[in-house]
Amino acid sequence: MTLLHNEAPTTVDPVIVVEGLTKTYAGGFQALKPIDLSIRRGEIFALLGPNGAGKTTLISIICGIVNPGDGSITVDGHDVVRDFRATRARIGLVPQELTTDAFETVWNTVSFSRGLFGLPPKPAHIEQVLRDLSLWEKRNHRIMTLSGGMKRRVMIAKALSHEPSVLFLDEPTAGVDVELRRDMWNLVRRLRDSGVTIILTTHYIEEAEDMADRVGVINKGELILVEQTATLMHKLGKKELTLHLHEPLAAIPPALSRYPLALSTDGTDLTYTYDTQAEHTGITALLGDLAAAGIRFRDISTRQNSLEEIFVDLVRSR
Amino acid sequence: MNWYAIAAIYKFEMARTRRTLMQSIASPVLSTSLYFVVFGSAIGSRITSVEGVSYGAFIIPGLIMLSLLMQSVSNASFGIYFPKFTGTIYEIHSAPVSFVEIVAGYVGAAATKSVIVGLIILATARLFVDYHIAHPLLMVAFLLLTAITFSLFGFIIGIWADNFEKLQVIPLLVITPLTFLGGSFYSIHMLPPLWQKVTLLNPVVYLVSGFRWSFYDLADVGVDASLAAIAGFLVACLIAIGWIFRTGYKLKS
């Protein structure tokens, strides 16, 4: 939460503002501890967290599927409880589960969604959505005859039927093949370019890394941090420097014991982990000491931590 | 008011009816025809008349009521239960609709369907017996009010039920007996005096009586009592549904 407040809120135009939101289910399970979160207009925001962390609960409350506990949520300045018509009309939701009307045709179910959201029919828009999702050929097919990936596309089409300005994608790529995943991210980029704000949850952290402008990490109902993806990578990204040695070492020489070094089992690789944000990375000193100890190396490689590793570290440290 | 949403739900539900045409329309028509054959012709031929009306004609309002109640309850309960069962109800919850639109869409479609079934049975009856309708407008009013009221009741059952068994239990164990004992096939004046009093506790008596009055000017209880009974049940169902949506009972956690 403290990280959130480090960002200048005056310079951003928030579309969703969550303040002090809690949720305790009837069984007594506290799904959300007080959550403060502000989603910026036009951004792609990735919500990461392990299973059961509260991602879906948070999304479901914003969308109106689960009743909120304490706190408040506004979408475009409208309260999601008091002014639910205004907020829900702006939001499209693709839930995690594949739940579709088996007996309806693709065209009818997508048209149904548009009507449900209070808009007059607009076949041209439905056609465009179906074409964008490669569903046009299947428009007169019953949903039960479609493959799982196609059903997922239908659910996205339903969420886009009423031209929402905010789109929630809950685990959109879970169990989806490579082609659909690529199509989906292309679509998400196009939507973002047209001004749609996108909030997604994913287990594929590399996707968040590629796609998201900002990342929020949620664990056990608590929002651990919210950060620009690049800043987060930079800030929490540890780097590893690996030295490939000329001659294998049996053990790390005592002269180098003050460095956090790891020796590979065959003794040929020496790995040094350092923090790119630290005042001194210690690399110069390390290399000097290595030379003084008479250790020669034939190659050097460095590697940046992925968001996944950052994420695992964050969640474990709690 | 989100009129497009009402239209969308209504159309969706009516499309479901069209997909299941045999089960929706053909089966009630078939079962009613059987009633006419058995009660109207076979047994009814031994009963000359009930209070001046031929027995075959006498049972028409009761038979229509029987189908109307069963159809309304089962259509509406299934209509809202199914999206709960498959999970597609998420979309209704996430849409800019209040419970007024949801109820109007689902209950409107369920009531439409049962009124259609009722009218088809009325037309089918013509093949077996001759009848007249003394108060056509009031007949339609009774038909509509009963269909709407019992569709509301079915809607409540559909929300309450969390498995298919519960969905069937009320229609089978409550509605059917009450209808059979509610004077569909007899006038309550034919009962022993004690049972004439007891049977007045059965709400269906008022529905059948009022409906039969609109046909033949013949009533077991006063027409005003019949109208009051329907109105009372309608209001009770509306209050229950209002409460369900206010609290999110069985709909939202």
pLDDT by residue for chain B (253 residues), tens digit each?
899 999 999 999 999 888 887 777 788 788 888 888 887 777 777 877 888 888 888 889 999 999 999 999 999 999 999 999 999 999 999 999 999 999 999 999 999 999 999 999 999 888 888 898 999 999 999 999 999 999 999 999 999 999 999 998 988 888 888 888 888 888 888 888 888 888 888 889 999 999 999 999 988 888 999 999 999 999 999 999 999 988 888 888 7
A interface residues, B as partner, C-beta within 8 Å: 25-26, 63-67, 84-89, 91, 93, 95, 97, 99-104, 108, 111-120, 158
Q: What backbone torsions phi and psi does residue A135 show, to the nearest 5 degrees?
A: -110, -5
Query: Model ipTM?
Result: 0.88
Cα separations in angstroms, A71 against A24, A57, A74: 12, 14, 10
Amino acid occupying residue B189: H
Query: Nearest to residue B203, comparing CAs of B187, B227, B185?
Result: B227
DSSP A105: B
User: B96, A84: Cβ pair inside 8 Å?
Assistant: yes
DSSP string, chain B: --HHHHHHHHHHHHHHHHHTHIIIIIHHHHHHHHHIIIIIIIIGGGS-EETTEEHHHHHHHHHHHHHHHHHHHHHHHHHHHHHHHHSTHHHHHHSS--HHHHHHHHHHHHHHHHHHHHHHHHHHHTTT-----S-HHHHHHHHHHHHHHHHHHHHHHHHH-SSHHHHHHHIIIIIHHHHHTTTSSS-GGGS-HHHHHHGGG-HHHHHHHHHHHHHHS--SS-HHHHHHHHHHHHHHHHHHHHHHHHHTTTT--
Chains A and B: how many Cβ contacts under 8 Å?
Answer: 83
pTM over 0.80: yes
Nearest-Cα distance to chain A for B248, in Å, is: 8
